[in-house]
Amino acid sequence: MQASLKRANKHIVSHIVLVTWSLIVLFPLWTLVINSFKTRLTIYDNPFWIPKTWNFSNYQTVIRDGDFLTYFKNSFIVVSASLLLVTFFASLAAYALARYKNRFAQAYYFFFIAGMMVPIKIASIKLLELIRALGLLNTIWALPPIYVAMGLPVGIFILTAFIKDLPEELYEAALIDGSSSWNIYRQIVLPLVRPALASTAIYNLIPFWNDLWFPLIFINEEKEKTLLLGVTRLFGQYQTDWSRVLAVLTLSAIPVLLLYLAMSSQFIKGVTSGSVKG
Protein backbone atom coordinates (compact mmCIF):
# COMPACT_ATOMS: atom_id res chain seq x y z
CA MET A 1 0.00 0.00 0.00
CA GLN A 2 2.65 2.37 1.15
CA ALA A 3 4.89 1.46 -1.77
CA SER A 4 2.31 1.97 -4.48
CA LEU A 5 1.23 5.29 -3.02
CA LYS A 6 4.85 6.34 -2.99
CA ARG A 7 5.22 5.36 -6.64
CA ALA A 8 2.18 7.28 -7.74
CA ASN A 9 3.43 10.31 -5.82
CA LYS A 10 6.89 10.28 -7.36
CA HIS A 11 5.43 10.28 -10.80
CA ILE A 12 3.69 13.57 -10.16
CA VAL A 13 6.98 15.08 -9.13
CA SER A 14 8.61 13.56 -12.19
CA HIS A 15 5.98 15.01 -14.41
CA ILE A 16 6.40 18.43 -12.90
CA VAL A 17 10.14 18.30 -13.41
CA LEU A 18 9.89 17.00 -16.95
CA VAL A 19 7.21 19.46 -17.94
CA THR A 20 9.26 22.31 -16.56
CA TRP A 21 12.23 21.18 -18.58
CA SER A 22 10.09 20.77 -21.67
CA LEU A 23 8.99 24.37 -21.31
CA ILE A 24 12.61 25.43 -20.97
CA VAL A 25 13.29 23.63 -24.22
CA LEU A 26 10.28 24.80 -26.14
CA PHE A 27 10.17 28.43 -25.07
CA PRO A 28 13.30 29.50 -26.96
CA LEU A 29 12.06 27.66 -30.03
CA TRP A 30 8.79 29.51 -29.80
CA THR A 31 10.73 32.75 -29.54
CA LEU A 32 12.80 31.80 -32.55
CA VAL A 33 9.88 31.07 -34.79
CA ILE A 34 7.54 33.92 -33.93
CA ASN A 35 10.25 36.52 -34.22
CA SER A 36 11.15 35.34 -37.66
CA PHE A 37 7.78 36.63 -38.72
CA LYS A 38 8.45 40.12 -37.47
CA THR A 39 10.45 42.92 -39.05
CA ARG A 40 13.85 44.29 -38.25
CA LEU A 41 12.65 46.84 -35.75
CA THR A 42 9.46 45.32 -34.42
CA ILE A 43 11.23 42.36 -32.87
CA TYR A 44 12.17 44.71 -30.09
CA ASP A 45 8.63 45.66 -29.31
CA ASN A 46 7.18 42.53 -27.84
CA PRO A 47 9.99 40.06 -27.90
CA PHE A 48 8.19 37.02 -26.63
CA TRP A 49 4.79 37.43 -28.10
CA ILE A 50 3.31 36.82 -31.50
CA PRO A 51 3.76 39.56 -34.08
CA LYS A 52 1.11 42.19 -34.55
CA THR A 53 1.37 41.77 -38.26
CA TRP A 54 2.78 38.64 -39.74
CA ASN A 55 5.66 39.35 -42.06
CA PHE A 56 6.35 36.57 -44.53
CA SER A 57 8.82 38.50 -46.61
CA ASN A 58 11.78 37.32 -44.55
CA TYR A 59 11.26 33.77 -45.64
CA GLN A 60 10.70 34.80 -49.21
CA THR A 61 13.89 36.82 -49.30
CA VAL A 62 15.90 34.17 -47.58
CA ILE A 63 14.76 31.41 -49.88
CA ARG A 64 15.43 33.58 -52.86
CA ASP A 65 18.86 34.65 -51.70
CA GLY A 66 20.07 31.25 -50.70
CA ASP A 67 19.82 28.05 -52.65
CA PHE A 68 18.28 26.04 -49.85
CA LEU A 69 17.32 23.00 -51.83
CA THR A 70 20.84 22.49 -53.14
CA TYR A 71 22.40 23.04 -49.73
CA PHE A 72 20.04 20.57 -48.19
CA LYS A 73 20.64 17.92 -50.83
CA ASN A 74 24.39 18.25 -50.34
CA SER A 75 24.19 17.97 -46.59
CA PHE A 76 21.93 14.98 -46.88
CA ILE A 77 24.24 13.10 -49.20
CA VAL A 78 27.34 13.87 -47.19
CA VAL A 79 25.83 12.91 -43.87
CA SER A 80 24.12 9.75 -45.07
CA ALA A 81 27.26 8.47 -46.77
CA SER A 82 29.40 9.33 -43.78
CA LEU A 83 27.09 7.70 -41.25
CA LEU A 84 26.75 4.58 -43.33
CA LEU A 85 30.47 4.15 -43.64
CA VAL A 86 31.23 5.02 -40.05
CA THR A 87 28.78 2.58 -38.55
CA PHE A 88 29.79 -0.18 -40.91
CA PHE A 89 33.55 0.26 -40.52
CA ALA A 90 33.33 0.82 -36.79
CA SER A 91 31.26 -2.28 -36.23
CA LEU A 92 33.73 -4.37 -38.20
CA ALA A 93 36.65 -3.00 -36.27
CA ALA A 94 34.87 -3.26 -32.92
CA TYR A 95 33.96 -6.83 -33.65
CA ALA A 96 37.57 -7.65 -34.29
CA LEU A 97 38.82 -5.79 -31.25
CA ALA A 98 36.23 -7.06 -28.82
CA ARG A 99 36.12 -10.65 -29.88
CA TYR A 100 39.57 -11.68 -30.85
CA LYS A 101 41.95 -10.83 -28.13
CA ASN A 102 45.54 -10.65 -29.14
CA ARG A 103 48.50 -8.50 -28.33
CA PHE A 104 47.72 -5.92 -30.89
CA ALA A 105 44.07 -5.46 -30.00
CA GLN A 106 44.81 -3.25 -27.00
CA ALA A 107 47.23 -1.17 -29.03
CA TYR A 108 44.84 -0.67 -31.91
CA TYR A 109 42.04 0.14 -29.53
CA PHE A 110 43.98 2.89 -27.85
CA PHE A 111 45.13 4.11 -31.22
CA PHE A 112 41.54 4.62 -32.22
CA ILE A 113 40.35 6.00 -28.91
CA ALA A 114 43.09 8.59 -28.86
CA GLY A 115 41.32 10.20 -31.78
CA MET A 116 38.43 11.20 -29.55
CA MET A 117 40.57 13.61 -27.67
CA VAL A 118 42.21 15.63 -30.34
CA PRO A 119 40.47 18.35 -32.28
CA ILE A 120 40.89 17.30 -35.87
CA LYS A 121 40.79 20.98 -36.78
CA ILE A 122 44.46 21.41 -36.04
CA ALA A 123 45.28 19.07 -38.86
CA SER A 124 43.38 21.24 -41.28
CA ILE A 125 46.29 22.35 -43.39
CA LYS A 126 47.53 18.85 -44.02
CA LEU A 127 43.97 17.69 -44.66
CA LEU A 128 43.51 20.42 -47.20
CA GLU A 129 46.60 19.23 -49.04
CA LEU A 130 45.42 15.63 -48.91
CA ILE A 131 41.96 16.40 -50.21
CA ARG A 132 43.41 18.49 -52.96
CA ALA A 133 45.79 15.70 -53.92
CA LEU A 134 42.84 13.33 -54.15
CA GLY A 135 41.07 15.75 -56.46
CA LEU A 136 38.11 16.09 -54.14
CA LEU A 137 38.53 19.75 -53.29
CA ASN A 138 35.52 21.96 -53.85
CA THR A 139 33.18 18.99 -54.06
CA ILE A 140 30.94 17.54 -51.42
CA TRP A 141 33.00 14.34 -51.51
CA ALA A 142 35.80 16.12 -49.70
CA LEU A 143 33.76 15.78 -46.54
CA PRO A 144 32.88 12.09 -46.01
CA PRO A 145 36.50 10.93 -45.60
CA ILE A 146 37.05 13.50 -42.87
CA TYR A 147 33.78 12.77 -41.14
CA VAL A 148 34.34 9.02 -41.24
CA ALA A 149 37.76 9.47 -39.70
CA MET A 150 36.24 11.80 -37.12
CA GLY A 151 33.40 9.47 -36.23
CA LEU A 152 35.37 6.24 -36.03
CA PRO A 153 36.87 6.75 -32.56
CA VAL A 154 33.54 7.26 -30.85
CA GLY A 155 31.93 4.55 -32.91
CA ILE A 156 34.60 2.05 -32.03
CA PHE A 157 34.45 3.14 -28.43
CA ILE A 158 30.72 2.58 -28.15
CA LEU A 159 30.58 -0.56 -30.24
CA THR A 160 33.53 -2.30 -28.62
CA ALA A 161 32.05 -1.76 -25.19
CA PHE A 162 28.74 -3.03 -26.41
CA ILE A 163 30.07 -6.11 -28.14
CA LYS A 164 32.23 -6.95 -25.15
CA ASP A 165 29.06 -6.98 -23.11
CA LEU A 166 27.42 -9.63 -25.21
CA PRO A 167 27.38 -12.87 -23.26
CA GLU A 168 29.63 -15.73 -24.28
CA GLU A 169 26.76 -18.18 -24.62
CA LEU A 170 25.70 -16.48 -27.82
CA TYR A 171 28.83 -17.53 -29.55
CA GLU A 172 29.13 -21.02 -28.18
CA ALA A 173 26.49 -22.47 -30.44
CA ALA A 174 28.02 -20.80 -33.46
CA LEU A 175 31.54 -21.88 -32.62
CA ILE A 176 30.48 -25.47 -32.15
CA ASP A 177 28.91 -25.32 -35.58
CA GLY A 178 32.20 -24.04 -36.96
CA SER A 179 30.67 -20.84 -38.34
CA SER A 180 33.06 -18.42 -39.93
CA SER A 181 33.72 -15.17 -38.20
CA TRP A 182 31.84 -13.35 -40.93
CA ASN A 183 28.73 -15.38 -40.30
CA ILE A 184 28.96 -14.80 -36.60
CA TYR A 185 29.27 -11.10 -37.30
CA ARG A 186 26.39 -10.98 -39.67
CA GLN A 187 23.95 -13.30 -37.96
CA ILE A 188 24.63 -12.89 -34.28
CA VAL A 189 26.48 -9.71 -33.52
CA LEU A 190 25.00 -7.30 -36.05
CA PRO A 191 21.37 -7.80 -35.06
CA LEU A 192 22.22 -7.42 -31.41
CA VAL A 193 24.28 -4.28 -31.71
CA ARG A 194 21.49 -2.34 -33.33
CA PRO A 195 21.12 0.00 -30.37
CA ALA A 196 24.84 0.69 -30.36
CA LEU A 197 24.78 1.28 -34.11
CA ALA A 198 21.90 3.64 -33.59
CA SER A 199 23.78 5.38 -30.80
CA THR A 200 26.82 5.78 -33.01
CA ALA A 201 24.76 7.08 -35.87
CA ILE A 202 22.81 9.54 -33.80
CA TYR A 203 25.88 10.62 -31.90
CA ASN A 204 27.67 11.41 -35.14
CA LEU A 205 24.69 12.73 -37.06
CA ILE A 206 24.66 16.02 -35.25
CA PRO A 207 28.34 16.96 -35.62
CA PHE A 208 28.33 15.86 -39.25
CA TRP A 209 25.23 17.77 -40.17
CA ASN A 210 26.09 20.85 -38.19
CA ASP A 211 29.74 21.05 -39.06
CA LEU A 212 30.76 24.37 -40.45
CA TRP A 213 34.52 24.27 -40.34
CA PHE A 214 35.40 21.71 -43.01
CA PRO A 215 32.82 22.80 -45.55
CA LEU A 216 34.12 26.30 -44.97
CA ILE A 217 37.67 25.49 -45.89
CA PHE A 218 37.09 22.83 -48.52
CA ILE A 219 34.20 24.25 -50.46
CA ASN A 220 33.92 27.55 -52.25
CA GLU A 221 31.61 26.55 -55.03
CA GLU A 222 28.07 27.65 -54.30
CA LYS A 223 26.51 24.49 -55.73
CA GLU A 224 28.52 22.25 -53.45
CA LYS A 225 27.87 24.01 -50.17
CA THR A 226 26.29 22.24 -47.28
CA LEU A 227 23.35 23.72 -45.44
CA LEU A 228 25.08 25.45 -42.57
CA LEU A 229 27.81 26.86 -44.79
CA GLY A 230 25.37 28.22 -47.30
CA VAL A 231 23.42 29.76 -44.49
CA THR A 232 26.27 31.55 -42.72
CA ARG A 233 26.90 33.75 -45.69
CA LEU A 234 23.37 34.98 -45.15
CA PHE A 235 24.15 35.74 -41.51
CA GLY A 236 26.75 38.19 -42.64
CA GLN A 237 24.51 39.70 -45.22
CA TYR A 238 21.61 40.16 -42.86
CA GLN A 239 23.49 40.86 -39.71
CA THR A 240 21.62 44.05 -39.05
CA ASP A 241 18.27 42.38 -39.47
CA TRP A 242 17.62 39.96 -36.63
CA SER A 243 14.23 38.91 -37.90
CA ARG A 244 15.75 37.75 -41.12
CA VAL A 245 18.56 35.97 -39.34
CA LEU A 246 15.98 34.15 -37.26
CA ALA A 247 14.16 33.11 -40.41
CA VAL A 248 17.42 31.67 -41.71
CA LEU A 249 18.00 29.87 -38.42
CA THR A 250 14.53 28.40 -38.44
CA LEU A 251 14.86 27.15 -41.99
CA SER A 252 18.19 25.51 -41.29
CA ALA A 253 16.96 23.88 -38.10
CA ILE A 254 13.96 22.28 -39.74
CA PRO A 255 15.67 19.52 -41.78
CA VAL A 256 17.44 17.89 -38.87
CA LEU A 257 14.48 18.37 -36.63
CA LEU A 258 12.19 16.56 -39.03
CA LEU A 259 14.80 13.89 -39.56
CA TYR A 260 15.10 13.40 -35.86
CA LEU A 261 11.37 13.36 -35.28
CA ALA A 262 10.99 10.78 -38.01
CA MET A 263 13.84 8.69 -36.70
CA SER A 264 13.25 9.08 -33.00
CA SER A 265 10.67 6.36 -32.78
CA GLN A 266 13.07 4.09 -34.66
CA PHE A 267 15.80 4.95 -32.26
CA ILE A 268 13.67 4.49 -29.18
CA LYS A 269 12.39 1.17 -30.47
CA GLY A 270 15.93 0.07 -31.06
CA VAL A 271 16.95 1.05 -27.59
CA THR A 272 14.07 -0.64 -25.87
CA SER A 273 13.66 -3.82 -27.89
CA GLY A 274 17.18 -4.76 -28.87
CA SER A 275 18.71 -4.85 -25.49
CA VAL A 276 16.46 -6.96 -23.35
CA LYS A 277 18.29 -10.13 -22.49
CA GLY A 278 17.40 -13.14 -20.50
Partner 1 sequence: MRNHRTHHLVWLLYLAPALIMYSLFMAYPLLDSLRLSFFTGNNPATRVYVGFGNFEKLFTDPQISQRYWSAFFNTWVFFLIHLVVQNGLGILFAVMLTFDTMKARHVYQTIIFIPTTFAVLITGYLWKLMLNPVWSGDFFVSIGLPFLRHPWLGDTKTALIAVSLVSCWQWLGIPTMMFVAALRNISVELLEAALLEGAGNCKTFFLIKLPLIKPVVGIIAVLTFVNNFNAFDIVFAMTNVNGAPEYATDLIGTLFYRYGIAGQHPIGIPDAGLGSAIAVITLLLLLCVVIPTLKKTQKGGA
Partner 2 sequence: MKRLNVVLVSLALLCLMLPITAQPARETSTKAVTLTMGSWRTDDVEQMNRLLSEYKKIAPDVTIRFQPTNPPDYNATLRLQLDSNTGPDLMYARSYGAGLELFNAGYFADCTDIPGLMDNFSASNLAPWQTADGRMFAVPFAAVSHGVYYNKDIFRKEGLGIPNTWEDFLALCTTLKSRGYTPLANGLADEWDILETFFFGLLPNYVGTADQRVRYESGELKLNDRNFVAAYQAMADVAQFCPRGFESVTYNDSQVLFNSQRAVMFVDGSWTAGVYKDASFEWGIFAIPAPKGKHTAICFHPDMAITMNTKTKHPEEAKAFLAWLCTEQGATTASKNLPSGYFPMIKFPIKLENLHANEFLALNAGKETDARFVWPKLMHLYAPMNQAVIRVMKGQISAQAAADSVQALR
Footprint of partner 2 (CB under 8 A): 40-41, 44, 74, 77, 80-81, 84, 124-125, 128-129, 132, 137-141, 191, 194, 216-217, 220-221, 223-224, 232-233, 235-237, 239-240, 242
Residue 66 Rama label (left phi>0; alpha psi -120 to 50; beta):
beta
User: Whose CA is closest to 154, among 229, 63, 211, 90?
Assistant: 90
CB-nearer residue toward partner 1: 68 or 209:
209
What is the DSSP code string of 58-122? HHHHHHHHS-HHHHHHHHHHHHHHHHHHHHHHHHHHHHHHHHS--HHHHHHHHHHHHGGGS-GGG
User: Whose CA is closest to 160, among 73, 95, 86, 63?
Assistant: 95
98 binds, among partner 2, partner 1, none (CB under 5 to 8 A by kind): none
Min dist CB 247 to partner 1, Å, is 12
Among 20, 22, 57, 60, binds partner 1 (CB under 8 A): 22
Min dist CB 138 to partner 1, Å, is 18
Q: Which of residues 66-95 bind partner 1 (CB under 8 A)?
A: 85, 88-90, 92-93, 95
User: Whose CA is closest to 215, among 224, 206, 205, 207?
Assistant: 224
Min dist CB 71 to partner 1, Å, is 13
**Helix (DSSP H) and strand (DSSP E) numbers for the chain:** 13, 0
CB-nearer residue toward partner 1: 10 or 52:
10
- Residues 218-257: x where in contact with partner 1 by CB under 8 A, - otherwise, as a string: ----------x---x--x------x--xx--x--xx--xx
